[in-house]
Amino acid sequence: MTFKHLEERSAYEERYDSATVERCRSIEDHFLSPEIQQKGLSDGRGFPDWIMPLQIFHLTGERYRNRKETINERMEKDRQRDAMLAQTRPPFMRCPSCGQPMECVDTSLKYGFEEGERDRVTFFLNCKECKEVHHIYENGTPIPRKPLLCEKCGKEVEFSSEERDGKYYYIRTCKHCGHIEERMSTLDEEEKNPTKEELERFERDKKRFCISEEQGKRFLEWEKRMKQIDDQKEEHLLNVELYDRVKEVKSLTIASLEKKLRKVLEKAGYSDLQITMPPSGREIVLEFSIRDTKDSRKDLESRQTLSETIEKALEMTNWSLYPESVTYRLGVLNGRIRGYESQEELETLMRSRMKKKPKKKKSEGMTVEF
Ligand SMILES: [Zn+2]
Ligand SMILES: [Zn+2]
């Protein structure tokens, strides 16, 4: 019979809640430990005593927030695993020794644990004649058998199992050095029944840490308000920076703009700048043409260098280049530049520049002289 993954929803809920209790308990154990308790603040406010409830508050809220979705995801994953096992048929294979068709004795899943790694179905095929078992993937690729090694001499051991006093043991016997290793099945280890006190403590902790729907809703409300406050703070800071920048902007006339551009562009190897102002609507748009004096510079490189040089020169002015407007033909480049007049337009321009270059360090542009 094939192992079935999907269980009742309550089983997933129980596991999720136990994990919540475990995690909250470990916070308490940490903060209530003598080493941490001694690190109180000098004014008498013990810092572990106010950090601990905060951490628990956040964790219990977060566990509440993700509970339903996490459980849905886990159930969906198990549902998919079962479907995968049910749909896949073992590949047909002949025994490499005698040539008889082999029979599938077990189907199982090899779980993908790493990110992006998928589960894969594997089969154990058996040859009745030769008693040979092969472990393979769906496409017939063999899965290499990992030999069990002796912890003393490192040679391969023989494996057996045994039941004693209602418990299950795995035994590894080494024929080379005679060493015997015995381990109790971890399933048996885990199945120690909890005592009455442990059960009562768990129920108490579950009430404290797995918060009710009402408490959970209050947490979500609180979280939303905190986020709004953060957003407002950020928006406010952005605006403060924006107004600072707008104040720093130099408003250039067309003549000063031309002078500034001619200077930096000549340095970058372009000459003969021509600027015209076509009759336009509401916006001030200038058209320009310029020649590239460097023969070695071709289309794309020439356009990029020109755009970068112009954008850098105009960074703190009321003018900006339309980068996509720059064209190149046989060493002549054309493009368009837009001018901004009103305060409102300037704010829009600077806001978009700040988005491209988010942080402006206060120290930038300052030089220290000795
Ligand atoms: Zn065979
Ligand atoms: Zn050995």
pLDDT tens, N- to C-terminus, the chain (370 residues): 567 899 999 999 999 999 999 999 999 998 888 888 777 655 656 677 778 899 999 999 999 999 999 999 999 999 999 999 888 888 898 988 899 999 998 888 888 888 778 888 999 899 988 888 888 988 888 888 888 888 889 888 888 888 888 778 888 899 899 999 888 876 666 667 889 999 999 999 999 999 999 999 999 999 999 999 999 998 888 888 888 888 888 889 999 999 999 999 999 999 999 999 877 677 889 999 999 999 888 899 999 999 999 999 999 899 999 878 999 999 999 999 999 988 888 888 888 888 776 554 444 333 333 3
**Which numbered ligand comes closest to the C-alpha of 96?**
1
Ligand 2 centroid, distance to 158 Cα (angstroms): 10
Burial class (CB in 10 A: 0-12, 13-18, 19+), 198: exposed
Ligand 1 centroid, distance to 101 Cα (angstroms): 8
**Which numbered ligand comes closest to the C-alpha of 101?**
1
**Which numbered ligand comes closest to the C-alpha of 179?**
2
Please report the pLDDT score of residue 40 as a whole number. 63
Contact 6, 79 (CB under 8 A): yes
Ligand 1 centroid, distance to 104 Cα (angstroms): 13
SS3 (DSSP) at 321:
strand
* Packed helices 196-209 and 9-32: angle between N→C axes, nearest 10 degrees: 90
Distance in angstroms (rounded) separating the CA atoms of residues 280 and 265: 26
Distance in angstroms between the alpha carbons of the first and the last residue of the chain: 84
SS3 (DSSP) at 21:
helix
Residue ranges with CB less than 5 Å from ion ligand 2: 150, 152-153, 174, 176-177, 179
Ligand 1 centroid, distance to 126 Cα (angstroms): 8
**Which numbered ligand comes closest to the C-alpha of 150?**
2
Distance in angstroms (rounded) separating the CA atoms of residues 248 and 268: 26
CB atoms near residue 287 (< 10 Å):
15
Please report the pLDDT score of residue 364 as a whole number. 39
pTM, full prediction: 0.60
CB atoms near residue 53 (< 10 Å):
13
SS3 (DSSP) at 339:
strand
Partners of 134 in the beta sheet? 125
Distance in angstroms (rounded) separating the CA atoms of residues 313 and 264: 7
Distance in angstroms (rounded) separating the CA atoms of residues 214 and 211: 8
DSSP code string of 148-198? -B-TTT-SB-EEEEEEETTEEEEEEE-TTT--EEEEE-HHHHHTPPPPHHH
Ligand 1 centroid, distance to 136 Cα (angstroms): 16
Please report the pLDDT score of residue 360 as a whole number. 45
**Which numbered ligand comes closest to the C-alpha of 181?**
2
**Which numbered ligand comes closest to the C-alpha of 177?**
2
Question: Which residues, in sequence order, are CB contacts of 185 under 8 Å at separation 6+?
Answer: 167, 168, 169, 170
Please report the pLDDT score of residue 108 as a whole number. 86
Tell how far CA 258 is from the center of its chain: 48
**Which numbered ligand comes closest to the C-alpha of 154?**
2
What letters, b where the CB count within 10 A reaches 16 and e where it falls short, cover 224-233? eeeeeeeeee
**Which numbered ligand comes closest to the C-alpha of 155?**
2
Ligand 1 centroid, distance to 128 Cα (angstroms): 7
Ligand 2 centroid, distance to 262 Cα (angstroms): 85
What is the topology classification, in CATH, of domain 254-356? Answer: Threonyl-tRNA Synthetase; Chain A, domain 2 (3.30.980)
**Which numbered ligand comes closest to the C-alpha of 173?**
2
Report DSSP state, residue 323: G
Distance in angstroms (rounded) separating the CA atoms of residues 201 and 220: 28
Please report the pLDDT score of residue 370 as a whole number. 33
Q: Of the candidates 86, 91, 97, which has an alpha carbon nearest to the alpha carbon of residue 125?
A: 91
Ligand 2 centroid, distance to 149 Cα (angstroms): 8
SS3 (DSSP) at 229:
helix
Domain residue ranges in the chain: 254-356
The owner of tokens 């700048």 is: 273
**Which numbered ligand comes closest to the C-alpha of 180?**
2
Q: How far is CA 148 from CA 47, 139, 173, 269, 271, in A?
A: 51, 26, 10, 72, 78
Please report the pLDDT score of residue 233 as a whole number. 92
Please report the pLDDT score of residue 369 as a whole number. 33
Distance in angstroms (rounded) separating the CA atoms of residues 59 and 50: 15
Distance in angstroms (rounded) separating the CA atoms of residues 106 and 4: 13
* Complete edge-to-edge strand list for the sheet that includes strand 120-127: 103-110, 120-127, 132-137
Ligand 2 centroid, distance to 130 Cα (angstroms): 28
- The half-sphere exposure of 349 on its side-chain side, counting CA atoms within 13 A, is 25
**Which numbered ligand comes closest to the C-alpha of 178?**
2
Ligand 1 centroid, distance to 133 Cα (angstroms): 9
203-212 long-range CB contacts below 8 Å, 24 or more apart? 205/21, 205/24, 205/25, 206/17, 206/21, 208/24, 209/20, 209/21, 209/24, 209/25, 209/56, 209/60, 209/63, 210/17, 210/20, 210/21, 210/60, 210/63, 210/64, 211/60, 211/61, 211/64
